[in-house]
Structure 1
Amino acid sequence: MTGAIPAEWPYGAAFWQRLGRSIMDVILHLGAHRTATTTFQHYMRDHSDDLASKQIAFWGPERVRGSVTPGLFRRSTAPKGRNLAKRAEGRIRLFAAQAKAQGIKQLLVSDENLLGNCKQNIRAERLYPAAGERIARVSAAFGGQVRRIVLTIRAQDLWWASACALTVSRGHPVPSPTRLANIAHSRRSWRDVITDLACAAPGAQIDVLTFEAGAGGCERVLRAALETDVPTDTRKRWLNRSPDLQSLRAALAEQGSDPELLPDTLGRWQPFTAEQTAMLRENYADDLHWLFAGAEGLATLTEDTCPNRAETYLPSGAFTKGQRDDQGQIEGHVAQHR
């Protein structure tokens, strides 16, 4: 025989690259919410021309929600029998084909609502319960071209507190003590979200960053997404920060709700009891331990050794952990379960 059958066929984008076919890589920046995603998206828009000169295109929430994904997550059929999800898939493939025809080599899609939204999480009392199904639809719509997924995670006690503050400021009810207790006792953690993403897009490499290590620094996130030199963030903004208790009480009064539902103090609102906060922190510690141990090959934890948000560049001591690094693998991996 003159050839051999490969032990494992490459998946998705890697398959066509192995054959020498030039394609456009799709990179999904999924947030999560409350990890400085708005700041990152403004940074990307500021540098869109610079990135375009490097054949990198950016789709932010305005485009994604306005013209790209509407209908993608709807199961109902519109009047006249039109399948909204199928139409959305066709629209995504059309826009992606247009970008590729313009010479784009990397398409970065950034929209935290692709995972779901904070209101849905609070109602479900769990972290992104439909993340797997939603990203599976996104991956299918891009025809297997999703090469990388970037996710920033945050300590659950602070993430849920920020999510509650955001939803209350936008007119949603203050979560009841029962709901808060159910959230604190939920066993669904970032590990489950990441596992769902790996199953939904098995051909994609998943890079995880922690909000605490760099407070969502824009350059740090973009470097993880593109693995190349990135524009310097000179503006150092921090947009869409959580409103404090004073602002939330004022918002409740303006909405016609009772401000007494919130503590009459200053600073950050922490809706959980000390015991509930400890439970949520323990869940996050378990998540980080799993990620440091290699995440069963499903994801790579990208770390900063210096947790200073004002740093312009990733410190020279930065490193990554994950099964693909231990084994010297460069291409994307296939999700595995144990």
Structure 2
Amino acid sequence: MTSAEDFTLTFHIGAHKTATTHLQRSLEHAADDLVDAGVRYYGPDYFRLPGRTINRLFSLKPRFAKENRRSAADQLALMRKGANRLLFSEENYAGALNVSRPGQVIDRYPDAGARIEKLVAATGLPGIDLCLAIRHPATFLNSAYGQHLLGGRVVSSADYLAAHPLEGVDWSDLVVQLSAVRTVRRITVWRYEDYRPLFRDICTALVGAAAADFITPFGRRSHAGLSFDAVTAVHAAYDGRNGDGLAGRYRAKYPIGDAHPAFDHFDAATHDRVTLAYADQCAQIASLPKVRFLRPTV
């Protein structure tokens, strides 16, 4: 069983398209050193293997509870292996990035709070610390649309925005939802736009100050977006049946740069309006009692 007195569970729950992959690769690269510092890290390389989703490992759905011989508390203790801290990073646990069914995304990650509450209750821990990155809603949707195309789901920009409107990206609603969970002790939040200057502070929130010394930014940007020319080429080549591989092919042919500007759903006036709304969301989030909102010092 896991002793609550000398143990912390921290969960980096995303969000999607906020440099999560880069951060996860940086953590994975430092995993052995983190073990020596008393921290065990589990990310997508672990949780996306067959039979290792969080729901399955911790028996969070009835069918898994019938199959698993190990209780959720025992599973946590097994993963802990004597460490002082466990760090989970899996943005898919908070919910899906894009909807694949007909309809509209009214709220982003509407079940995230309930899912966190269910996990903590199953493990028997008194609480959990959460870490969350947020992003300017317009650039978030631009990036999410690119991911939609890269996944082989070719739809027009207008159809995508009809299903994923700007109004559905309200980070303050998400953080209020998470902070309402009684067993959430602290939520550390940062903006994607501040990721680079805050990298050390983010790592400290994830693993503690001493262990953060072992983490360095790993490699370059993990997932490049799509240019206007790449998106145009995808739609021109799409046969109405199979979009697999198209976006990846044209991303390589027309990479974002001076010759190929990044794709953008929105005009300058919309960006300005959303920038003001995003600043208001950040201010609301920073005012919440459980939240530590990271900001660059300069």
What residue number does 2:201 align with? 220
Give, in whole Å, the separation in 1 of the partners of 2:265 and 2:44.
Answer: 29
What residue number does 1:84 align with? 64
What residue number does 1:115 align with? 94
Q: Structure 1 pair 68/185, CA: closer, same or farther in 2 (3 Å)?
A: closer
Tell me, yes or no, if the aligned pair for 1:24 and 1:145 is still in contact at 8 Å: no
Question: Scaled by the length of structure 1, what TM-score is found?
Answer: 0.70
Tell me, yes or no, if the aligned pair for 1:93 and 1:141 is still in contact at 8 Å: yes
Residue type at the aligned position of 2:206: A
Q: Structure 1 pair 141/90, CA: closer, same or farther in 2 (3 Å)?
A: farther
Give, in whole Å, the separation in 2 of the partners of 1:89 and 1:27.
Answer: 25
SS of 2:293's equivalent in the other structure is strand
Q: How many residues align?
A: 277
1:96 matched to 2:76: yes
Divergent runs of 4+, >6 A? 72-76
Q: Structure 1 pair 195/52, CA: closer, same or farther in 2 (3 Å)?
A: same
Q: Structure 1 pair 290/70, CA: closer, same or farther in 2 (3 Å)?
A: closer
Q: Which has the higher contact order (CA 8 A, sep 6+)?
A: 2
What residue number does 1:244 align with? 227
**Structure whose alpha-carbon radius of gyration is higher:** 1
Residue type at the aligned position of 2:64: L
1:118-137 maps to which residues of 2 (within 5 A)?
118-120=97-99, 123-137=104-118
Tell me, yes or no, if the aligned pair for 2:129 and 2:186 is still in contact at 8 Å: yes
| Percent identical residues | 22
Q: Structure 1 pair 146/86, CA: closer, same or farther in 2 (3 Å)?
A: farther
SS of 1:94's equivalent in the other structure is helix
1:42 matched to 2:54: no
Out of 290, 293, 297, the position equivalent to 1:298 is: 290
| Alpha-carbon RMSD | 3.5
What residue number does 2:38 align with? 55
Tell me, yes or no, if the aligned pair for 1:207 and 1:301 is still in contact at 8 Å: yes
Give, in whole Å, the separation in 2 of the partners of 1:65 and 1:89.
Answer: 20
Give, in whole Å, the separation in 2 of the partners of 1:44 and 1:23.
Answer: 22
C-alpha displacement of 1:214: 2.8
1:275-314 maps to which residues of 2 (within 5 A)?
275-292=269-286, 294-295=287-288, 297-306=289-298
Any unmatched runs of 5+ in structure 2? Answer: 247-253
Cα displacement string for residues 121-143 of structure 1 (whole angstroms, at most 9, x for unaligned residues): 99525322222222222222332
SS of 2:48's equivalent in the other structure is helix
1:69 matched to 2:50: no
Tell me, yes or no, if the aligned pair for 1:206 and 1:300 is still in contact at 8 Å: yes
Tell me, yes or no, if the aligned pair for 1:126 and 1:183 is still in contact at 8 Å: no
Give, in whole Å, the separation in 1 of the partners of 2:274 and 2:68.
Answer: 37
1:105 matched to 2:76: no
SS of 2:222's equivalent in the other structure is coil
Give, in whole Å, the separation in 2 of the partners of 1:58 and 1:299.
Answer: 23
C-alpha displacement of 1:87: 5.5
1:138 matched to 2:123: no
Give, in whole Å, the separation in 2 of the partners of 1:235 and 1:199.
Answer: 34
Q: Structure 1 pair 169/187, CA: closer, same or farther in 2 (3 Å)?
A: closer
C-alpha displacement of 1:275: 5.0
Q: Structure 1 pair 189/234, CA: closer, same or farther in 2 (3 Å)?
A: closer
Residue type at the aligned position of 1:97: A
Q: Structure 1 pair 73/226, CA: closer, same or farther in 2 (3 Å)?
A: closer
What residue number does 1:267 align with? 261
Cα displacement string for residues 26-57 of structure 1 (whole angstroms, at most 9, x for unaligned residues): 10011111111111111111111110001100
SS of 1:303's equivalent in the other structure is coil
Q: Structure 1 pair 41/247, CA: closer, same or farther in 2 (3 Å)?
A: same
Give, in whole Å, the separation in 2 of the partners of 1:117 and 1:193.
Answer: 14
Cα displacement string for residues 99-153 of structure 1 (whole angstroms, at most 9, x for unaligned residues): 34x2111000001111112113995253222222222222223323543101011
Q: Structure 1 pair 246/188, CA: closer, same or farther in 2 (3 Å)?
A: closer
Tell me, yes or no, if the aligned pair for 2:40 and 2:85 is still in contact at 8 Å: yes
C-alpha displacement of 1:254: 5.6
Give, in whole Å, the separation in 1 of the partners of 2:184 and 2:57.
Answer: 21
Q: Structure 1 pair 220/250, CA: closer, same or farther in 2 (3 Å)?
A: farther
Give, in whole Å, the separation in 2 of the partners of 1:276 and 1:25.
Answer: 42
